A and B are shown apart, each in its own frame.
Chain A
Amino acid sequence: KNEVEQSPQNLTAQEGEFITINCSYSVGISALHWLQQHPGGGIVSLFMLSSGKKKHGRLIATINIQEKHSSLHITASHPRDSAVYICAVREAQNNDMRFGAGTRLTVKP
């Protein structure tokens, strides 16, 4: 079983919809990251969180340490948001990184 589970695996939305991607983890962590992988394969860091909430443009990331859960929200989704979104956690015990398998988002015009 993967220490980091993401849901859904695949998500299709219409342009303008509000998107939520979920991440649950089973290990103690010191930080959680959300990454975006473009259709061409390139990976970009979006957020690093250790508590609370962060916002960047139309993207919002939240984390609940007690529940071991994080969400990535996209407001007013656009076709250019189509990508794979990856959740990754940094284990508190040894600083090792554990990555989720990713959520493939497709936003249709």
Chain B
Amino acid sequence: NAGVTQTPKFQVLKTGQSMTLQCAQDMNHNSMYWYRQDPGMGLRLIYYSASEGTTDKGEVPNGYNVSRLNKREFSLRLESAAPSQTSVYFCASSEYKDRGLADTQYFGPGTRLTVL
């Protein structure tokens, strides 16, 4: 099992460019999450998906869109990147249909994004 995989690991964008962060899990989990982590701050939930075809806004959804393509994949799209979106992005998955952390939540390795 690969667990939760994310691509790319690193990305540099110019202001206004768009990109999609990819996330996939092979554990047959129902719930998937996108978080961002900024220095001195805790992880913040961007979007959450309880199942294929459903998504729900988290704490900081502005500037992002998501797509739950199937049970395995959950992508995060930045349509017009801004310097404020410079951050480390983590994808996670959980067996439970719940926007909160379950007993075991699995995180991907993270994507370090810089917007110039």
Q: Given A99-B43, A100-B42, decide whether A42 and B59 contact each other with a Cβ distance below 8 A.
A: no
Determine whether the beta carbon of A43 is less than 8 Å from that of B59: no
Alpha-carbon distance between A102 and B112 when the two chains are bound, in angstroms: 18
Q: CB of B65 within 8 A of chain A?
A: no
Q: CB of A97 within 8 A of chain B?
A: yes
Total A residues in contact with B, Cβ cutoff 8 Å: 24
Interface size class of B (residues with CB under 8 A): 20 to 34
Chain A residues near B41 (CB, 8 Å)?
2, 101
Q: Given A41-B109, A42-B110, decide whether A31 and B101 contact each other with a Cβ distance below 8 A.
A: yes
Determine whether the beta carbon of B107 is less than 8 Å from that of A102: no
Chain B residues near A43 (CB, 8 Å)?
90, 92, 107, 110
Q: CB of B44 within 8 A of chain A?
A: yes
Determine whether the beta carbon of B110 is less than 8 Å from that of A88: no
Which parts of A77-109 form the interface with B (CB within 8 Å)? 86, 88, 90-91, 95-102
Which of B44, B100, B106, B110 is in CB contact (< 8 Å) with A90? B100
Q: What are 16 contact pairs spanning A and B, CB under 8 A? A: A2-B42, A41-B112, A42-B110, A43-B90, A43-B92, A44-B107, A45-B103, A45-B105, A95-B98, A96-B45, A97-B100, A99-B42, A99-B43, A99-B44, A100-B42, A101-B40
